[in-house]
Amino acid sequence: MHCTHCGKAVDPNDRFCTHCGQANPSYGEDARESSDDHFKTQAYDNYQNTPPYAPLNQDYPQRPRKFNWGAFTFTVAWGIGNNCYICLLALIPGLNIIMSFIAGFMGNQWAMENNTYRDMEEFSKIQQTWNRAGFIFFIIAVIPAAFFMFIGFMTLMSAPALNNNWL
């Protein structure tokens, strides 16, 4: 059998000519049914009809409003990682402290609105990782700061030149 468009040899079981791409008019119903039935399974049909990620909407329970330590501590990095670009306002001097607190309180809500997660379990795992890292880093940063403030205060209190009259 030959293609009616380009004249090259075509297999009768091919739907299109492999040389020019023209439809093969001799492609019969028998060949079409046998090739399509070969690939049809219930699992494949379910897979084809399911979107890769279903957006979180009202089908899932509302996420409790908890403080997000990851958003508070790593405001800029967390904002980029969770598509919350409003957190980039933390790069402006003066707004960084305010934005850290806003991101800490609104972080879970923003992350849910700006991303598509498969389910609440995936969302919880991702935010728990951010929370754990943010809380640990916050503690690691606060302990040395408190220590040096204590040392500075004790140094001022014991300075003989001040005669302890500065309080």
Residue 16 gets which letter from DSSP?
B
Would you place residue 165 in the very low, low, confident or very high pLDDT band (cuts 50, 70, 90)? low
pLDDT at 12 over 80: no
pLDDT digits (tens, 9 = 90+) for 118-128: 888 888 899 99
79/139 same-domain check: yes
CA distance 55 to 115: 8
Q: Rounded to whole angstroms, what are the CA distances from 44 to 23, 38, 50?
A: 26, 11, 10
Residue 16 token pair: 């299109």
Instruction: Tell me what pLDDT residue 42 has.
Output: 62
Sign of CA dihedral 113, 118, 123, 126: negative
pLDDT digits (tens, 9 = 90+) for 110-119: 988 888 788 8
Residue 58 lies in a domain: no
Percentage of the residues of the chain whose pLDDT score is greater than 70: 72
Q: Rounded to whole angstroms, what are the CA distances from 8 to 1, 25, 26, 27, 93?
A: 9, 14, 14, 15, 71
Residue 167 lies in a domain: no
Of 78 and 29, more confident: 78
Task: Give this prediction's pTM.
Answer: 0.55
Residue 27 token pair: 């492609």
Of 4 and 165, more confident: 4
CA distance 11 to 7: 12
pLDDT digits (tens, 9 = 90+) for 20-49: 777 777 766 444 445 555 555 666 666 656
- Structural domain harbouring 98: 69-159
35/82 same-domain check: no
82/138 same-domain check: yes
Instruction: Tell me what pLDDT residue 31 has.
Output: 46
Instruction: Tell me what pLDDT residue 102 has.
Output: 95
CA distance 107 to 70: 8
